[in-house]
Amino acid sequence: MMSATATDPPLPDSPAPGTAAPGSSPGDAGRSSVRSLLRLWPYVRPVRARLFTAAFVAVVASCLGLVIPLVLKWIVDGPIARRDTDGVWLGGALLLAVGVLEALLFGLRRWLVARPLAGVEAAMRADLFRHLQRLPVSFHDRWASGQLLSRATADLQLLRMFLAFPLTFLLVNATTILVGFGVLMVQEWTLGLVLLLPVVPLMLLCSVFEARYSLAARRAQDQIGDLTTVVEESVLGIRIIKGFGRHRSQARAFRALSRRLLDTELRKARLLAGIWAVIMTLPELAIGAALVLGTVQVADGELSAGTLVAFLTTALALRWPVESIGFLLAMSNEAATATDRYFEVMDEPVPPDTLTVSTGSTGSTGSGPAPGAPPSAPAARPAPADGIRFERVVFRHPDAPPDAPPVLDGVDLHIRSGETVALVGATGSGKTTLTALIPRLHEVTSGRITLDGRDIAALGRDELRSLVAVAFEEPTLFSASVRENVLMGAEGASEEDLERALRVAQAREFVDALPQGVDTQVGEQGLSLSGGQRQRLALARAVVGRPRFLVLDDPLSALDVHTESLVEAALREVLAGTTALVVAHRPSTVLLADRVALLSRGRIAAVGTHHELLRSNAEYRHLMSGEQRQEER
């Protein structure tokens, strides 16, 4: 999640189509709207019966409209020509019946598609959310949250609208046009040929329009994602914005992005206006020419007045199907772009639950016997209590340049079972990255990490994360109650576990003071609480499940000195019964550990007790000196 800063936010240039988010490529020469839209079929397939029925009903309703000109021809050449009043009333009744039936059929079509298409949208949104939860942290580091939100909301709503209206009416209008022109040719083929003259130029113009409109549609949807990001950051960072008086700069950023989006939308409108003008003008000219030619034929006695009325009425009935082509193409291109944006996320690969490990590691997959093992192989013995081992661990960010140095370069460290090791290093040395490797928030580039002798790459994520609990330096809480936030750390934890965790984190007193105690809603990201309170609840969440392994990333940085000493006293009890790695910046936190590991230049430079490293390591002494002077005072 991106957060607002105090400085003026950058104003990204309006991105070329496909560059607003990683992985997008709308400008590819091989892009096909039809191919993009066909990817929706797995979601549409469960409701295909109702959709096909709705399309059939709509085709029948539309073709019923072509019956009206035939009834008019019968009325003009029959009852009117013979001055038969009863026949005129009969013809009027027929026209009314056809109109009512057509309206009922279109209403039935709408009823048929409403519920299933809402279900399609819900299923796609659920799949997207599920997929986002499974994607690695590196993906979320690269993608702006606003881009993801716009895909989950605006894009999916657009797809539902496409499936409900344009998709059906592309088929309905195409069928109506074909049937209508067949009726015209049967009535008077010479006039029918006149109406067919605009077809070729219309097809060419529509092809050019589709190519240009798809680029504008992609640009607009990406810019909506950028705008959503700015709004989200401004809401989440409202304290920073108000605290530094940056509301005007945020407003300027918002207006700049809004203007870019407005310019893009106006370009879309100009393109649509242009194609509509052409689509409406050419058929009107053809109808006018057919009217003149038909009138001459009626005057010469070559054509009956009823036939001319029926012909012109049929031609006018085809105006909407023809004129709607531009509108339907525009919506189809927007839907194709939305589909591309949706599947850009869905196509992101999810890391496998377990990874292939070297032959010498314990357990090749963590979910069964090693390949080639005999079916009757005896069950493996319980893993020895070996603690946490880092063996030649190298980590490089997946999107880092090939020549960039790795963040971690051959880390070797053994945290014995039941031991607490403090990890110390300069800012940017890779301490947080190292702790993120244990629960596999990132995957090691090479080397391996073992827990009690078992390679974490061979453990399923569910099993791994049931063994390892984490508390990060920046505590994240959810829009839920205190109870729900803490118990998120252990499925099935009891009230006793909750009480113990709150006691360890020294959170019981302030939680009791909240309006509803543990049932108080803490608000989005817990911003209704202080930084120290949020950090204590995050620590409670980490210890509530009595984890076998505990990873704490500077868990006491936001606490005052008095509260810190109380938390440390309670935390010692927890650390005595677990194997822990604690990122520390202050001697008070370091003293919780049995040993200290110094991380420098991507490697473990020294390991020993706090006092040993103070005596023997100048870099460690330098890191601790500022805090140590404060303590000595």
326 and 424 fall within a common domain: no
Residue pair 525/476 in contact (Cβ under 8 Å)? The answer is yes
276 and 420 fall within a common domain: no
174 and 231 fall within a common domain: yes
Nearest one of 321, 432, 445 to 392, comparing CA atoms: 445
Nearest one of 147, 221, 140, 143 to 436, comparing CA atoms: 140
Residue 66: which residues within 8 A CB-CB, separation 6 or more?
176, 179, 180, 183, 314, 317
pLDDT of residue 22: 54
pLDDT of residue 462: 84
pLDDT of residue 169: 81
268 and 339 fall within a common domain: yes
Last residue of a domain, one of 346, 370, 396: 346
Could you tell me if residue 7 is inside a domain? no
Could you tell me if residue 414 is inside a domain? yes
Number of domains in the chain: 2
pTM: 0.70
Could you tell me if residue 60 is inside a domain? no
pLDDT of residue 3: 39
469 and 599 fall within a common domain: yes
pLDDT of residue 363: 37
Residue pair 542/550 in contact (Cβ under 8 Å)? The answer is yes
Domain extent for 568: 388-474+547-632
Could you tell me if residue 152 is inside a domain? yes
Could you tell me if residue 267 is inside a domain? yes
Residue 530: which residues within 8 A CB-CB, separation 6 or more?
558
> Token digits for 478?
């959810």
Reported as a single tens digit per residue, the pLDDT across 359-415 is: 444 333 333 333 333 443 444 445 567 889 999 999 988 877 878 889 998 999 999
Residue pair 250/13 in contact (Cβ under 8 Å)? The answer is no
pLDDT of residue 525: 67
Residues of the chain where predicted confidence (pLDDT) is lower than 70 = 1-31, 77, 81, 84, 236, 239-240, 243-244, 355-384, 524-527, 558, 626-633
186 and 320 fall within a common domain: yes
Amino acid sitting at position 253: A
Which residue is listed with tokens 């199907």?
321
Residue pair 413/421 in contact (Cβ under 8 Å)? The answer is yes
414 and 329 fall within a common domain: no
> Token digits for 48?
């295909």
309 and 407 fall within a common domain: no
pLDDT of residue 377: 40
Could you tell me if residue 449 is inside a domain? yes
pLDDT of residue 383: 54
Q: Determine if residue 114 is left, alpha or beta; phi over 0 gives left, psi from -120 to 50 gives alpha, anything else beta.
A: alpha
Neighbours of 171 (CB within 10 A): 16
CA distances for 182 relative to 68, 101, 448, angstroms: 15, 23, 72
CATH number, position 238: 1.20.1560.10
Last residue of a domain, one of 324, 346, 368: 346
Residue 199: which residues within 8 A CB-CB, separation 6 or more?
none
Q: DSSP assignment, residue 598?
A: E
CA distances for 329 relative to 322, 333, 335, 514, angstroms: 12, 6, 10, 56
294 and 392 fall within a common domain: no
- Alpha-carbon span 96 to 64, nearest angstrom: 12
401 and 330 fall within a common domain: no
Could you tell me if residue 401 is inside a domain? yes
What crossing angle do the helices spanning 319-346 and 156-164 adopt, rounded to 10°?
140
Radius of gyration (Cα) for the chain, nearest Å? 35
DSSP string, 447-490: EEEEETTEEGGGS-HHHHHHHEEEE-SS----SSBHHHHHHTTS
∠ CA(262), CA(239), CA(558), 5° rounding? 140
332 and 416 fall within a common domain: no
Q: DSSP assignment, residue 554?
A: S
pLDDT of residue 632: 40
Neighbours of 297 (CB within 10 A): 17
CATH number, position 596: 3.40.50.300
Could you tell me if residue 581 is inside a domain? yes
Reported as a single tens digit per residue, the pLDDT across 490-503 is: 877 888 888 888 88
162 and 301 fall within a common domain: yes
